[in-house]
């Protein structure tokens, strides 16, 4: 064995949160980057395991690494931008920030920072938008590859309604996408995502060519935005007058299906919900972004009643924080406003196994079943005094997990491991010292 870790242990081996397995005293065995065994310490000891050989974290919770299915790599510096809704926010803050990623050195430095920030937030896999510049895609793939991360990204396609410096042009935009795809898709743990930003910034010609590219490479993914704000929907209908509705713009060119991730999906018509359901297209719920940009309340139950797969994501920089603990807490609030409480069990399922399923990566990441990738986090409630207090008085694991979800943040991440290698370690500071050093 390469590593044997003893801690509190949590994962979801099955297809729903009903499958939750929690052991107060668990052991995880790792060999060659894979999970070999996850079980109760007592049981493994009875089978001859020498517990004195374990890395022992008795108060910490070991769980699969978080999976973020919608995040923007070039928006690390866009977070916390004041006072606007989506379309103005894009013009005022986002496009100027993304313009800088044409510079190779800038993009490479940012990619290292982005991957390190993901790991510090407990995220081991992301599906990320790059910028419209091929340099940004190369930089992010290189940074993720250097860390052996399971990372999916692609060049943003946007050939209209965007300023000089971020707008691309046909047919080069598709040619570049195909070149990047051919170079990177399937290399180590990297995957290519065909990435038309949204219908507002792509001509019908570009969307059609993107759909044609997807039809030739059906094992890639698609990511785009759908029905995020009411202003955006009205504007999109003017630009694409021949479409029956917003989803139809993507459907008529084949940018749909189980490997297509539609960010937001807040204001869908019944017809759009039906078409998403019938085509198996996935939605991604980004509650922190939706609150921050004032976009609306995603009707999760309505989409799930139609059996649409729904991911849960940070959407940095529309969402201000990378750590999915924040996203879960905001999801709780957004759903509370719809009289639909979100349990910690469901929320932790969603950011691990649930997102793996939505991204079609089940069996590879997201749980501790034998053979899954050894991508995991150690959550330490004692790194925040308020979390430590609330967890200490919790009567059940559900109560303790709920306290971590509502009160927690990236401070709780003690270690993030990729393929068995600890790539982020918070260090040996005690919580009190940590808080003092962080104000
Ligand atoms: N719609 C088109 N582009 C974006 C983006 O960068 N962020 C969000 N939240 N919505 C978008
Ligand atoms: Zn987004």
pLDDT, tens digit, for every residue of 253-292?
999 999 999 999 999 999 999 999 999 999 999 999 999 9
Joined tokens for residue 13: 């081996």
Average pLDDT value for residue range 329-334? 98
Which residue, judged by its Cα, is nearest atom 3 of ligand 1? 197
Q: State the closest ligand 1 atom to the C-alpha of 225, by its place in the atom list counted from 1.
A: 1
- CA of residue 86 to ligand 1 center, whole Å: 7
Q: Which candidate, 119, 31, 17, 103, places its Cα nearest to that of 374?
A: 31
- CA of residue 198 to ligand 1 center, whole Å: 8
Which residue, judged by its Cα, is nearest atom 9 of ligand 1? 318
Please name the residues in contact with 238: beta carbons below 8 A apart, sequence gap of 6 or more: none
Q: Does the CB atom of residue 289 touch ligand 1 within 6 A?
A: yes
- CA of residue 10 to ligand 1 center, whole Å: 33
Q: Does the CB atom of residue 94 touch ligand 1 within 6 A?
A: yes
Q: Which residues surround ligand 2, an ion (CB under 5 A)?
A: 263, 315
Average pLDDT value for residue range 337-357? 98
CA–CA distances in Å: residue 432 to residues 179, 209, 251, 386, 410: 50, 55, 53, 11, 15
Give the pLDDT score at 309.
98
Give the pLDDT score at 429.
42
Tell me the chain's radius of gyration from C-alpha atoms. 21
Q: What are phi and psi of 423, to 5 degrees?
A: -100, -20
Joined tokens for residue 356: 């793996």
Please name the residues in contact with 370: beta carbons below 8 A apart, sequence gap of 6 or more: 34, 35, 36, 37, 38
Please name the residues in contact with 66: beta carbons below 8 A apart, sequence gap of 6 or more: 121, 122, 123, 124, 323, 324, 351, 352, 377
Q: Looking at the predicted structure, is the pLDDT value of residue 439 above 80? A: no
pTM for the predicted model, two decimal places: 0.97
According to DSSP, the residues that pair with 284 across neighbouring strands are 263, 311
Q: Looking at the predicted structure, is the pLDDT value of residue 421 above 80? A: yes
Q: Does the CB atom of residue 346 touch ligand 1 within 6 A?
A: no
Q: Looking at the predicted structure, is the pLDDT value of residue 37 above 70? A: yes
Whole-number Å distance between alpha carbons of 57 and 12: 21
């Amino acid at each position: 064995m390469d590593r044997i870790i003893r801690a509190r242990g949590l994962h979801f081996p099955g297809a729903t949160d009903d499958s939750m397995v929690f052991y107060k005293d668990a052991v995880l065995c790792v060999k060659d980057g894979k999970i070999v065994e996850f079980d109760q310490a007592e049981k493994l000891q009875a089978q001859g395991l020498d517990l004195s050989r374990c890395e022992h974290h008795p108060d910490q919770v070991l769980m699969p690494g978080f999976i973020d299915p919608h995040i923007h790599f070039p928006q690390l510096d866009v977070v916390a931008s004041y006072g606007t809704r989506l379309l103005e926010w894009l013009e005022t803050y986002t496009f100027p920030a993304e313009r800088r990623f044409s510079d190779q050195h800038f993009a490479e430095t940012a990619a290292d920072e982005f991957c390190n920030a993901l790991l510090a937030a407990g995220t081991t896999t992301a599906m990320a938008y790059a910028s419209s510049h091929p340099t940004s895609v190369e930089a992010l793939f290189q940074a993720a590859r250097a860390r052996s991360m399971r990372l999916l990204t692609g060049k943003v396609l946007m050939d209209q309604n965007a300023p000089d410096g971020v707008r691309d042009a046909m047919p080069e935009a598709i040619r570049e996408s195909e070149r990047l795809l051919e170079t990177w898709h399937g290399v180590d743990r990297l995957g290519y995502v065909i990435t038309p930003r949204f219908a507002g910034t792509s001509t019908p010609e570009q969307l059609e060519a993107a759909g044609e590219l997807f039809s030739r490479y059906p094992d890639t993914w698609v990511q785009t935005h759908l029905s995020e704000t009411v202003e955006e929907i009205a504007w999109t209908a003017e630009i694409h007058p021949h479409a029956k509705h917003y989803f139809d713009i993507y459907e008529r060119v084949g940018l749909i299906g189980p490997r297509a991730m539609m960010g937001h999906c807040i204001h869908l018509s019944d017809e759009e919900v039906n078409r998403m359901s019938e085509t198996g297209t996935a939605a991604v719920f980004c509650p922190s972004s939706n609150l921050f940009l004032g976009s609306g309340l995603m009707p999760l139950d309505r989409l799930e009643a139609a059996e649409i797969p729904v991911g849960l994501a940070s959407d940095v920089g529309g969402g201000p924080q990378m750590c999915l603990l924040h996203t879960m807490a905001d999801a709780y609030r957004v759903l509370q406003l719809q009289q639909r409480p979100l349990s910690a069990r469901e929320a932790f399922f969603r950011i691990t196994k649930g997102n793996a399923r939505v991204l079609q990566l089940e069996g590879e990441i997201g749980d501790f079943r034998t053979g899954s990738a050894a991508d995991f986090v150690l959550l330490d409630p004692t790194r925040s005094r308020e979390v430590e207090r609330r967890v200490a008085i919790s009567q059940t694991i559900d109560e303790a997990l709920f306290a971590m979800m509502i009160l927690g943040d990236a401070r709780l991440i003690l270690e993030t491991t990729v393929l068995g290698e600890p790539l982020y370690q918070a260090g040996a500071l005690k919580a009190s010292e940590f808080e003092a050093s962080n104000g």
